[in-house]
Chains A and B, each alone.
Chain A
Amino acid sequence: DVKVTQSSRYLVKRTGEKVFLECVQDMDHENMFWYRQDPGLGLRLIYFSYDVKMKEKGDIPEGYSVSREKKERFSLILESASTNQTSMYLCASSFLGQKVYEQYFGPGTRLTVT
């Protein structure tokens, strides 16, 4: 059974703080993704990575950075948190190959920036 875990379920941070969100998967997936989910906007891709130390921008990368030092771990970094980054953050992983593979999601981190 695929397992994707996220370091925190709920997080409250102050404006200007540096925030780290961690994600770990145990299925040896090549691809890892960070999304944010907001009401009326669905899931929007922030960054993804298809290999260690590789990263690609998604649709809304501004204000975020990522790190992938190990295959199983993908971190999302908010360099200076702002109130408009209050959201549900979802990590996902999938195999990489010639066909499209479904993504497996973690439980999410509800981040509130005050």
Chain B
Amino acid sequence: DQQVKQNSPSLSVQEGRISILNCDYTNSMFDYFLWYKKYPAEGPTFLISISSIKDKNEDGRFTVFLNKSAKHLSLHIVPSQPGDSAVYFCAASGVYTGNQFYFGTGTSLTVIP
């Protein structure tokens, strides 16, 4: 059973606008969440993370929001750029899950110039 879900397989956004990627999880033991970005024919690269003691973490154009009560996190990219076009995976983990990461199915973001 998928413990981390990304219900939108794809998203298209105009350059300069905001991209919002969503992720839901089911395991309340998760206490650390990450976003990875993947270009075709490359491995995923770490983008941004958030621990459960926070509800927001910001790094430049990227902000991750965590709503623990709803078991939901989102990644905001502002402003979106064509180079942001990639597949984005959210992942969840925690010391009580043995440091194993559980990945979502990914959302393919296309930023239209």
Q: Which residues of A contact B (CB under 8 A)?
A: 4, 9, 31, 33, 35, 40-45, 48, 50, 56, 58, 90, 92, 94, 96, 98-108, 110
How large, as a class, is the contact surface on chain B? 20 to 34
User: Once the chains bind, are A42 and B106 in contact (CB under 8 Å)?
Assistant: yes
Pick the residue among B49, B93, B103 that contacts A42 (CB under 8 A): B103
Q: Is B46 a contact of A104 with CB atoms below 8 Å?
A: yes
Is B93 a contact partner of A100 (Cβ separation < 8 A)?
A: yes
A42 to B108, alpha carbons, bound, how many Å? 11
Q: Can you identify 18 A-B contacts, CB atoms within 8 angstroms? A: A35-B103, A40-B9, A42-B103, A42-B106, A43-B44, A43-B103, A45-B100, A45-B101, A48-B100, A100-B94, A100-B99, A101-B99, A103-B46, A104-B46, A105-B36, A105-B44, A108-B41, A108-B43
Q: Is the pair A105, B45 in contact by a Cβ cutoff of 8 Å?
A: yes
The answer on a CB contact under 8 Å between A100 and B32 is yes
B95 proximal to A (CB < 8 A): yes
Is A107 a contact partner of B43 (Cβ separation < 8 A)? yes
Q: Which residues of A contact B36 (CB under 8 A)?
A: 105
| B interface residues, Cβ below 8 angstroms from A | 4, 6, 9, 31-32, 34, 36, 41-46, 49, 89, 91, 93-95, 98-101, 103-106
5 tightest A-B CB contacts, nearest first: A105-B43, A42-B105, A43-B103, A100-B32, A102-B46
Residues of chain B within 8 A (CB-CB) of A90 are: 43-44
Partner of A107, one of B6, B42, B106: B42
